[in-house]
Structure 1
């Protein structure tokens, strides 16, 4: 059996800025796990249009629900915020803020309300909703992902209201194959299919996010653009790798290779916040996840978020999320 090499032929590559940015995104996705699945299969025919409300996000727990549609077959239009977008087979659209929108074919089609027509949950199989007769058929997979990081203000400020990827036109063959597997799992349900669908849906959404990061123009501002700044990317990676650490401005600056003034200026310019406020807001975001997904004592969550008293945590959390921690937890339990 061959032993280990005595020397390295090549020097290991240094981490590039793009890789560092990916590390920040990965850290966020690890800390705030995506969860969700395809919720239903929507198959209308002829001319039709959906109601703009209620939103799929209304079915999710508080803390950030991102509705999505995957166009499996046919074409349709999407209307939101005064604009119309043509959707083709293989397109994926996601709405990080649950923005109201309509889908349809033609001009005066029948109004359908898929969200209201869904059967009571839990579902043993993916519901299939069919509408209309004759005319071209459209098939969409619709649902939402619970993406708690969308409640994190710096990230919210960096995301658009609509994420749109064309898996055919953009040369994303592997993603198109992933969607084909999602369809197969819906059409031929098997043991463990719901879990498989959840994972495949998460992969699809992560790639949509990565495509958006890669298309961020030079000179842009916001959280996604900040990841392309070497100094800021190092700083963000440190915060997200160890959010419970008792960070100080000096410790962050030294570890990031920046002066205090340079780091503070870059945070203000790119993220419209200060380094310490960023740390606080991320801890509160993680606290919201803990409240929604566990029964841990609020006092323990408050301490982990860096607050010396539960009362101080309650005030800060209510300012950040619009309701006190106990109310947040109750709402999550009701909708979970």
Structure 2
């Protein structure tokens, strides 16, 4: 996994079209739906210099903002001004108006008006801030900083998602991702979503928090799409595979029909490649062979069905392409460390807490 990188956001690029013989599908939407992306917290900050905040590892605050989530992702959209973001082991990264910062992997991080500057909110103060925000005792727009002339405005989003058994989007992202948007760029979907969120926050109305959280989810999806559009040539990972014409067709086909008895030969024919070339290119971009990916994706679908539906284990097995419940159970335990029935029981216990 790469520790961090910055990409410039160009115009959108079309994803590879599905093979005419398959049912059209959208693998990115499939994954985001299967990993149960859920808005947890969303607010805006207006800061004056000097300002600074330290955010602890997500395992310290996940229980505060989204107790049932397996994982929490944070992101920030800079509306005005500039600052510096720091993670342990990575040199400080400068950000400015228009940039989008994503911290996908639960690392502790800080954001400051100047590198190495003092912070107004240390980790413990930030935990207290999250408790107050979740209790509804703070406004949507938060003021912070020392009152100096330099100003920065940004919106902060926190979302829950599943990481087990398989989240290929999260796995492909670096420890810190900065998406650079062209200076002065306005009027795109992301700007419209942010504007809607800020407008919703200005007037207290019933259901306002739910709307803001749903908008926060949409903002994150658009951030991922902009990252996908901006990926430089030569990058590896699931998103790079999705954008590759041949590998994208294979991913689309497997997502369209996950229960189909796919073979490497059939997938290679769809990609217009030899079996050897497909296997090599798929593994290079996605990180595992095609049939292994199919198994992981089937296990993610099965995990959601076991958690969210009353289907019997045999029916779940059939839904993801296993004629034998025993064979499915072995594959599921290998991927998750748990038998299907225990996975279901633990999820039920967690949601009942």
What is the TM-score of this pair, normalised by structure 2?
0.73
Choose from 77, 91, 96 the match for 2:99: 91
* Equivalent in the alignment of 1:111: 121
Say whether residues 1:163 and 2:171 are aligned partners: no
The question of whether the paired residues in 1 share the 8 Å contact of 2:39 and 2:216 is answered with: yes
Q: Which runs of 5+ in 1 are unaligned?
A: 1-15
* Equivalent in the alignment of 2:31: 28
In the alignment, the residues of structure 2 paired with residue 277 and residue 161 of structure 1 have an alpha-carbon distance, to the nearest angstrom, of: 25
Structure 2 CA distance for partners of 1:236 and 1:119, relative to 1, 3 Å? same
Shift of residue 184 of structure 1? 1.6
Shift of residue 298 of structure 1? 5.0
In the alignment, the residues of structure 2 paired with residue 204 and residue 273 of structure 1 have an alpha-carbon distance, to the nearest angstrom, of: 30
* Equivalent in the alignment of 1:18: 15
Choose from 166, 170, 183 the match for 1:152: 166
Aligned to 2:132, what secondary structure does the other structure show? Answer: coil
In the alignment, the residues of structure 2 paired with residue 247 and residue 143 of structure 1 have an alpha-carbon distance, to the nearest angstrom, of: 39
Shift of residue 251 of structure 1? 3.5
The question of whether the paired residues in 1 share the 8 Å contact of 2:42 and 2:212 is answered with: no
In the alignment, the residues of structure 2 paired with residue 176 and residue 19 of structure 1 have an alpha-carbon distance, to the nearest angstrom, of: 26
What is the TM-score of this pair, normalised by structure 1?
0.76
Say whether residues 1:333 and 2:336 are aligned partners: no
Structure 2 CA distance for partners of 1:96 and 1:297, relative to 1, 3 Å? farther
Shift of residue 188 of structure 1? 1.9
How many residues in Structure 1 have an aligned counterpart in Structure 2? Answer: 320
In the alignment, the residues of structure 1 paired with residue 33 and residue 51 of structure 2 have an alpha-carbon distance, to the nearest angstrom, of: 40
The question of whether the paired residues in 2 share the 8 Å contact of 1:63 and 1:151 is answered with: no
Per-residue deviation, residues 247-271 of structure 1 (Å, max 9, x unmatched) = 3334333444444333323223332
1:212-223 to structure 2, matched below 5 A, reads 212-223=227-238
1:1-336 to structure 2, matched below 5 A, reads 18-20=15-17, 23-29=26-32, 31-32=34-35, 34-36=37-39, 38-43=41-46, 45-55=48-58, 57=62, 59-60=65-66, 61-81=68-88, 82-106=90-114, 107-112=117-122, 113-117=125-129, 118-119=131-132, 121=134, 129-131=142-144, 134-135=147-148, 136=150, 138-148=152-162, 152=166, 154-167=168-181, 169=183, 171-174=185-188, 175-294=190-309, 296-297=311-312, 300-307=315-322, 313=328, 316-321=331-336, 325-326=343-344, 329-330=347-348, 332-333=350-351
Structure 2 CA distance for partners of 1:169 and 1:128, relative to 1, 3 Å? closer
Aligned to 1:110, what secondary structure does the other structure show? Answer: coil
In the alignment, the residues of structure 2 paired with residue 137 and residue 17 of structure 1 have an alpha-carbon distance, to the nearest angstrom, of: 37
In the alignment, the residues of structure 2 paired with residue 17 and residue 141 of structure 1 have an alpha-carbon distance, to the nearest angstrom, of: 28
Per-residue deviation, residues 202-229 of structure 1 (Å, max 9, x unmatched) = 3322222222222223233322222333
The question of whether the paired residues in 2 share the 8 Å contact of 1:231 and 1:257 is answered with: yes
Q: CA RMSD in A?
A: 3.7
The question of whether the paired residues in 1 share the 8 Å contact of 2:48 and 2:146 is answered with: yes
In the alignment, the residues of structure 2 paired with residue 122 and residue 303 of structure 1 have an alpha-carbon distance, to the nearest angstrom, of: 44
The question of whether the paired residues in 1 share the 8 Å contact of 2:48 and 2:152 is answered with: yes
* Equivalent in the alignment of 1:10: none
Q: Which runs of 5+ in 2 are unaligned?
A: 1-12, 19-24
